[in-house]
A and B are shown apart, each in its own frame.
Chain A
Amino acid sequence: MIAFLKQNSFRLLIAAPCVGFGIGILVLFIARNTQPTVQGSPWKTFLNIGSDGESVLQKAIRAGVGIYALPKEEVVYFMANTDEEGNRLEAGHRYRISGNAPFTRIWSITLYDDDHRLSANPLERYHINGSMMNTEQGQPYSFIISSKEENDYWLPAPEKGNIVLCYRIYLPPASTFPIQASQLPRIQKL
């Protein structure tokens, strides 16, 4: 092996940057779906957006999955593409989203399709937020995600395909950190 490398070292010199570039792209591709998960929940997040502790690789991944994000003092973002059992969120199923409203005036849960686009619907309802739920801080809330009309509070999903949820807490108070699973909404398949 070493002898082969020595014999072909000039070719290796030419190939090395290409291999390095290829590995870089591969790592970014794989890392896109490996954001850190809040333990005990399906929610993934980047908590060090814009901080000095953010590595070059983390910044590159963020540019791909959440470009133009705001720092965590302004908004904390959580993404979920599975329910609490670990199964992929699918548009054909019904889900109950429930939790306690965070201790901030502004929060929302938005539904996206697999390409991270809003799901077109005639109600023009793309998210559920604190004022729509009319819930006081720390009080429980609950709503349904479904592709068919519901009697309860509900968020329309597309007819088919996978879905992704984004939970945003704006201007989070210091007590929000460290984030624990109990602070995050439950995602139960019905």
Chain B
Amino acid sequence: MNIRLIIAVFLGVTSCWATFSMYPYFIQLAIEWKSGKEKNVLFHLKAPNPDTPDTPNPDFLYSALFYDLSKGDLLLTGDVPEQLDYFSIAFYGANSFHYALVKARDIKEKTYTIRLTNGNTPTQSSGELHVQSPSTSGTVIVRYMRRNAEDHAYIQRIQQRSMLKQLP
């Protein structure tokens, strides 16, 4: 068998596999680009309404963040919405794959402080959760379950109190 043929088959199969592996990265980049949002800025998605019904899931109100840890860690703080049926903070890597999830039932206090890092971090301080990102970039999605108008107003107050801080 010609060695070039063997190499060609190998290249073909590898390229096909690489396409599967790279596709999620491409989708992630496309979503970031389409959103027009800056990196390391926490934003809140509007609830669906007749003009802009593009919220992915009407069960939730969302806050989200496209992060870049190349300049340092990020500190995410906020209140735990105790009166909701569901609240979670999900972390996705540069390939859009989920790698960590902080749930309301994991947080003992009424507030949370999460340090998002991609490298070695100082000793964990009391009450601070550390989330180790597998990549320097990715996405954080905060989900607040909304069942009625009362929940809606409550969530909006909680969202306004959540903060993101860039650490040196």
Seen from chain A, the residues whose Cβ lies within 8 Å of a Cβ on chain B are: 5-6, 9-10, 12-13, 15-21, 23-25, 27-28, 49-50, 56-57, 59-60, 63-64, 67-71, 74, 105-106, 108, 110, 117-122, 124, 126-127, 129, 131, 166, 168, 170-171
Contacts and interface: CB of A to CB of B under 8 A. Distances in A.
A15 B145 CA distance: 50
Which of B11, B21, B90 has the most chain A CB atoms inside 10 A of its CB? B11
Given A56-B21, A108-B59, A118-B48, A6 B86 contact: no
Q: Which of A57, A118, A170 has the most CB of B within 10 A?
A: A118
Interface size class of B (residues with CB under 8 A): 35 or more
Interface stretch (B12-20, B69-77, B113-121, B122-130): B12-20
A120 B50 contact: yes
B8 interface: yes
Given A67-B96, A129-B147, A118 B58 contact: yes
A117 B54 CA distance: 6
A127 B103 CA distance: 24
Given A5-B2, A12-B4, A23 B92 contact: no
Contact of B4 (A13, A56, A63, A124): A13
B50 A20 contact: no
Interface string B53-72: 11111110000000000000
23 contacts: A6-B5, A9-B4, A9-B5, A9-B8, A16-B8, A17-B12, A24-B23, A63-B23, A63-B96, A64-B27, A67-B27, A68-B90, A74-B101, A105-B85, A118-B48, A118-B55, A120-B51, A124-B49, A127-B59, A131-B147, A168-B57, A168-B59, A170-B86
B49 A28 contact: no
Interface in B86-145: 86, 88, 90, 92, 95-98, 101, 103, 139, 141, 143, 145
Nearest to B4: A9
A111 to B, nearest CB: 10
A118 B53 contact: yes
